[in-house]
Amino acid sequence: MIIALLGNPNSGKTTLFNQLTGSKQHVGNFPGVTVEKKEGAIRGQRNLTLVDLPGIYSLSPYTAEEVVTRDFLLVEKPEAVINIVDATNIERNLYLTLQLMEVGVPVVVALNMMDEVRANGDSIDVQKLSRNLGIPIVPISAAKNEGCDELVQRTIEVAHQKERPRGLDLCQGEVHRAVHSIAHIIEEELKATGLPARYAATKVVEGDPITLSKLNLSESQQGIVQKIVTEMEHNLGTDREAALADMRYDFIAKACKDAVKKNGNSREMQRSIRIDNVLTNKYLGIPIFLAVMLLVFYLTFNVIGQPLSDLLSTGIDWVTGLLDRALTNTGINEAVHSLLVDGVCMGVGSVLSFLPTIVTLFFFLSILEDSGYMARVAFVMDKLLRKIGLSGRSFVPMLIGFGCSVPAIMATRTLASQRDRRMTILLTPFMSCSAKLPIYATFTAAFFPDKAPLVLILLYAGGMVVGILYGLLLKSTLFRGNPVPFVMELPAYRMPSAKSVLIHMWEKAKDFLVKAFTIIFVASIVIWVLQSFDSRLMMVEDGSRSMLAGIGRFIAPIFKPLGFGEWIPATALLTGLSAKEAVVSTLAVLTNVSDVSLLPSVLADTFTPLAAASFLTFTLLYMPCFAAVAAVKRELGGAKYAVAAMAAQCAVAWIVACLVYQIGRLFIGG
Q: Chain-wide mean pLDDT for the chain?
A: 84
Number of structural domains the chain divides into: 3
Cα–Cα distance measured from residue 174 to residue 170, given in angstroms and rounded to the nearest whole number: 12
Higher pLDDT, 486 or 627: 627
pLDDT-based confidence at 594, cuts 50/70/90? Answer: low
Cα–Cα distance measured from residue 352 to residue 317, given in angstroms and rounded to the nearest whole number: 11
Mean of the pLDDT values across residues 419-446? 88
Q: Is the pLDDT of residue 488 over 70?
A: no
pLDDT at 61: 61
Judgement on whether residues 446 and 594 belong to the same structural domain of the protein:
yes
Cα–Cα distance measured from residue 132 to residue 255, given in angstroms and rounded to the nearest whole number: 5
Written as one letter, the residue type at 348 is V
Is residue 56 situated within a structural domain?
Answer: yes
Is residue 270 situated within a structural domain?
Answer: no
Cα angle for residues 36, 39, 43 (degrees, 5° grid): 145
Higher pLDDT, 436 or 338: 436
Judgement on whether residues 130 and 223 belong to the same structural domain of the protein:
no
pLDDT-based confidence at 618, cuts 50/70/90? Answer: very high
Q: Is the pLDDT of residue 25 over 60?
A: no
Cα dihedral sign for 60, 61, 64, 67? Answer: positive
CATH number of the domain encompassing residue 235: 1.10.287.1770
Q: Which of 104-113, 429-438, 524-533 has the lowest mean pLDDT?
A: 524-533
Is residue 269 situated within a structural domain?
Answer: no
Judgement on whether residues 156 and 242 belong to the same structural domain of the protein:
no
Q: Is the pLDDT of residue 597 over 70?
A: no
Q: Is the pLDDT of residue 26 over 70?
A: no
Mean of the pLDDT values across residues 528-552? 81
Q: Is the pLDDT of residue 493 over 70?
A: yes
CATH number of the domain encompassing residue 20: 3.40.50.300
pLDDT-based confidence at 30, cuts 50/70/90? Answer: very low
Judgement on whether residues 302 and 242 belong to the same structural domain of the protein:
no
pLDDT at 29: 46
Q: Which of 300-304, 422-426, 560-564 has the lowest mean pLDDT?
A: 300-304
Judgement on whether residues 529 and 645 belong to the same structural domain of the protein:
yes
pLDDT-based confidence at 466, cuts 50/70/90? Answer: very high
Nearest residue to 423 via CA among 379, 467, 378: 467
Written as one letter, the residue type at 23 is S
Strands 49-52, 38-41: pairing is antiparallel
Higher pLDDT, 652 or 43: 652
Mean of the pLDDT values across residues 380-404? 78
Please measure the distance between the N-terminal and C-terminal CA atoms of the chain and give it in whole angstroms: 68
pLDDT at 486: 59
Domain boundary among 110, 137, 161: 161
Cβ contact 293:286 at 8 Å = no
Domain boundary among 102, 127, 161: 161
Mean of the pLDDT values across residues 229-246? 89
What contacts 628, CB < 8 A, 6 or more positions away?
404, 405, 406, 409, 429, 433
Q: Which of 23-32, 474-483, 540-549, 645-654 has the lowest mean pLDDT?
A: 23-32
Domain boundary among 112, 129, 161: 161
Judgement on whether residues 148 and 251 belong to the same structural domain of the protein:
no
pLDDT at 390: 79
pLDDT at 482: 66
Is residue 167 situated within a structural domain?
Answer: no
Mean of the pLDDT values across residues 622-642? 85
> Nearest 5°: phi and psi at 497?
-80, 130
pLDDT at 539: 82
Cα–Cα distance measured from residue 570 to residue 555, given in angstroms and rounded to the nearest whole number: 7
Judgement on whether residues 519 and 622 belong to the same structural domain of the protein:
yes
pLDDT at 266: 64
Judgement on whether residues 402 and 381 belong to the same structural domain of the protein:
yes
Judgement on whether residues 521 and 639 belong to the same structural domain of the protein:
yes
Q: Is the pLDDT of residue 195 over 50?
A: yes
Q: Is the pLDDT of residue 92 over 80?
A: yes
Percent of residues, the chain, with pLDDT higher than 70? 93
Q: Is the pLDDT of residue 36 over 70?
A: no
Which residues face 3 on adjacent strands? 50, 80
What contacts 258, CB < 8 A, 6 or more positions away?
125, 128
Q: Is the pLDDT of residue 6 over 80?
A: yes
Is residue 267 situated within a structural domain?
Answer: no
Is residue 278 situated within a structural domain?
Answer: no
Judgement on whether residues 11 and 142 belong to the same structural domain of the protein:
yes
pLDDT-based confidence at 109, cuts 50/70/90? Answer: very high
What contacts 482, CB < 8 A, 6 or more positions away?
389
Is residue 245 situated within a structural domain?
Answer: yes
Q: What DSSP string describes 49-105?
A: EEEEPPP-S-SSSSSHHHHHHHHIIIII--SEEEEEEEGGGHHHHHHHHHHHHHHT-
pLDDT-based confidence at 543, cuts 50/70/90? Answer: low
Cβ contact 633:639 at 8 Å = yes
Cβ contact 512:358 at 8 Å = yes
pLDDT-based confidence at 596, cuts 50/70/90? Answer: low
pLDDT at 34: 52
Q: Is the pLDDT of residue 33 over 80?
A: no
Judgement on whether residues 95 and 228 belong to the same structural domain of the protein:
no
pLDDT at 140: 94
Q: Is the pLDDT of residue 336 over 80?
A: yes
Question: 287-318, pLDDT tens digit by residue?
Answer: 998 888 888 878 887 788 778 888 888 888 88
pLDDT-based confidence at 660, cuts 50/70/90? Answer: very high
Judgement on whether residues 88 and 150 belong to the same structural domain of the protein:
yes
Q: What is the extent of the structural domain holding 473?
A: 286-668
